[in-house]
C-alpha cells in the first residue's frame, strides 16, 4: 500500500544491512577508511553518488547490490501492479484511477527504492559506530510503523481499509467483507509476489547472519546439515517473532489502547509500556540473541583490532565450509 511501503522498503534495506553487519564491518576495516558518515552526508544524494563511484565498501559489495536488485526487481513491481490493478485498495481506499495524480505514481515507485537505500545506509552507519541496538531498531521501528498504519491508520480504521477489496466495501464495512477480500484479485497478487520475495528475504537474512556467526567462530564451521538447518530455523524463528510478535503485536496493542482510551491517553499508556518493556527488557535480549554480541554497543570499526593473516585464513575457511 502507498501509505506503508515507505516503511516496508526502509525495513528491507535496514534488515539486509543488519544481517550482514559482520561482513560489512570486516570490509570497512580492511578498506582503511576510518569511521562512518554524518547524518547530513547520508542525506546528500550527490555525496552518495560520489562515494559509490569511488568504490566505497559501504556500497561496493554483494549485500548492497542485492538490496538494490531486490527493491527494484521485486518490491517496486509488486506495488506498481497493485496500484494499477487495485488503486482503491493500494491507497487504503483513498484514491482511484480518476484521482491519483501521475506524480504520486512516480514518487511511489522511486521511494520504494530510495527508502530502502536510506534504511541500508542508516543501519550501516550505526553498525560501523558499534551501536548495535540502535541499528536493530531501524528495522523494528520501521516494521512497527508499517503495522500500525495497517492496523490503526490515521482514523482507527486501518484494518477495515485493508480487509475491504474496494471503496464500496469499505463504505459498507462489515466483518464479512473479509471473505470478499480473500477471494479478490488483491490477494492473488499478494500471494504471487509474497511467495517469491518473502522466502528470499528470509533466506538472505538468515544466511548472512549464519555466515557472520561462522566467520567469527560463534558457531561451529563443521556443522553437519541437520545442525545447520536447526540453527538456521532458530534464526528464522527469532526474525519472524520480532516482525509478527514484537512489531505487529505492539501495533495491535497500540490500536486497542487508542480505541479504549483515545489518542492522547492511549498513546501515553502504550509509550510507557513500549519504553519499559520493549526497549528496556526485550530489545537488549533480542539484539544479543540474534546478533550474538555480548553488549548492545561495541567499539566503532576504527577501534577493532587488525585481522592477522593467519586468522584471516581460518575465517575464510570457516565461511567456505
Q: Where are the domains of the chain?
A: 2-320
Among 76-85, 136-145, 192-201, 308-317, the range scoring the smallest mean pLDDT is 308-317
For 164, what's the count of Cα atoms within 13 Å in the CB-facing half-sphere?
Answer: 23
- Other beta carbons within 10 angstroms of residue 154's beta carbon come to 11
For 132, what's the count of Cα atoms within 13 Å in the CB-facing half-sphere?
Answer: 23
In 3-state terms the chain splits into helix, strand, coil percentages (rounded to 5) of 75, 0, 25
- Other beta carbons within 10 angstroms of residue 155's beta carbon come to 8
Task: Identify the three-state secondary structure at position 25.
Answer: helix
φ/ψ of residue 262, rounded to 5: 95, 170
C-alpha cell at 216: 567469527
Tens of pLDDT, residues 189-217: 999 998 988 999 999 999 999 999 998 88
Task: Identify the three-state secondary structure at position 50.
Answer: helix
The residue count of the chain comes to 321
Is residue 321's pLDDT more than 80? no
Task: Select from 10, 59, 1, 65 the least CA-distant residue to 33.
Answer: 59
Task: Select from 143, 145, 290, 138 the least CA-distant residue to 213.
Answer: 290
Give the C-alpha separation, 117 to 132, whole Å: 19
- Other beta carbons within 10 angstroms of residue 42's beta carbon come to 16
Tens of pLDDT, residues 10-67: 999 999 999 999 999 999 888 876 555 666 666 666 766 776 776 778 888 999 999 9
Confidence of residue 319 (pLDDT cuts 50, 70, 90): very low
DSSP 178-209: HHHHHTSHHHHHHHHHHHHHHHHHHHHHHHHH
Task: Select from 106, 113, 88 the least CA-distant residue to 98.
Answer: 88
φ/ψ of residue 42, rounded to 5: -65, -25
Give the C-alpha separation, 215 to 186, whole Å: 42
- Are 132 and 293 spatial neighbours (Cβ–Cβ below 8 Å)? yes
Tens of pLDDT, residues 100-134: 999 999 999 999 999 999 999 999 999 999 999 99
DSSP state of 173: -
Amino acid at each position: 500500500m502507498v501509505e506503508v511501503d515507505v516503511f516496508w522498503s526502509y525495513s528491507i534495506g535496514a534488515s539486509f544491512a543488519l544481517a550482514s553487519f559482520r561482513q560489512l564491518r570486516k570490509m570497512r576495516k580492511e578498506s582503511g577508511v576510518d569511521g562512518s558518515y554524518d547524518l547530513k552526508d547520508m542525506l546528500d544524494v550527490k555525496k552518495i553518488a560520489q562515494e559509490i563511484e569511488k568504490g566505497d565498501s559501504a556500497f561496493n559489495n554483494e549485500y548492497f547490490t542485492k538490496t538494490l536488485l531486490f527493491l527494484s526487481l521485486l518490491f517496486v513491481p509488486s506495488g506498481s501492479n497493485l496500484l494499477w490493478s487495485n488503486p482503491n485498495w493500494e491507497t487504503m481506499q483513498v484514491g482511484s484511477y480518476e484521482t491519483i495524480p501521475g506524480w504520486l505514481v512516480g514518487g511511489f515507485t522511486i521511494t520504494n527504492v530510495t527508502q530502502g537505500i536510506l534504511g541500508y545506509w542508516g543501519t550501516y552507519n550505526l553498525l560501523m559506530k558499534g551501536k548495535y541496538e540502535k541499528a536493530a531498531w531501524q528495522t523494528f521501528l520501521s516494521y512497527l510503523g508499517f503495522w500500525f498504519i495497517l492496523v490503526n491508520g490515521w482514523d482507527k480504521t486501518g484494518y477495515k481499509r485493508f480487509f475491504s477489496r474496494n471503496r464500496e466495501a469499505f463504505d459498507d464495512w462489515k466483518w464479512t467483507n473479509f471473505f470478499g477480500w480473500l477471494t479478490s484479485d488483491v490477494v492473488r497478487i499478494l500471494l504471487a509476489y509474497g511467495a517469491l520475495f518473502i522466502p528470499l528475504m528470509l533466506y538472505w537474512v538468515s544466511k548472512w547472519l549464519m555466515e557472520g556467526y561462522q566467520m567469527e567462530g560463534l558457531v561451529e564451521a563443521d556443522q553437519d546439515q541437520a545442525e545447520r538447518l536447526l540453527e538456521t530455523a532458530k534464526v528464522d524463528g527469532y526474525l519472524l517473532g520480532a516482525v509478527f510478535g514484537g512489531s505487529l503485536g505492539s501495533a495491535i496493542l497500540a490500536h486497542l489502547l487508542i480505541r479504549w482510551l483515545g489518542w492522547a491517553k492511549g498513546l501515553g499508556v502504550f509509550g510507557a509500556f513500549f519504553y519499559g518493556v520493549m526497549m528496556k527488557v526485550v530489545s537488549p535480549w533480542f539484539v544479543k540473541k540474534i546478533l550474538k554480541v555480548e553488549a548492545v554497543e561495541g567499539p566503532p570499526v576504527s577501534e577493532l583490532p587488525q585481522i592477522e593473516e593467519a586468522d584471516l585464513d581460518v575465517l575464510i575457511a570457516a565461511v567456505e565450509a
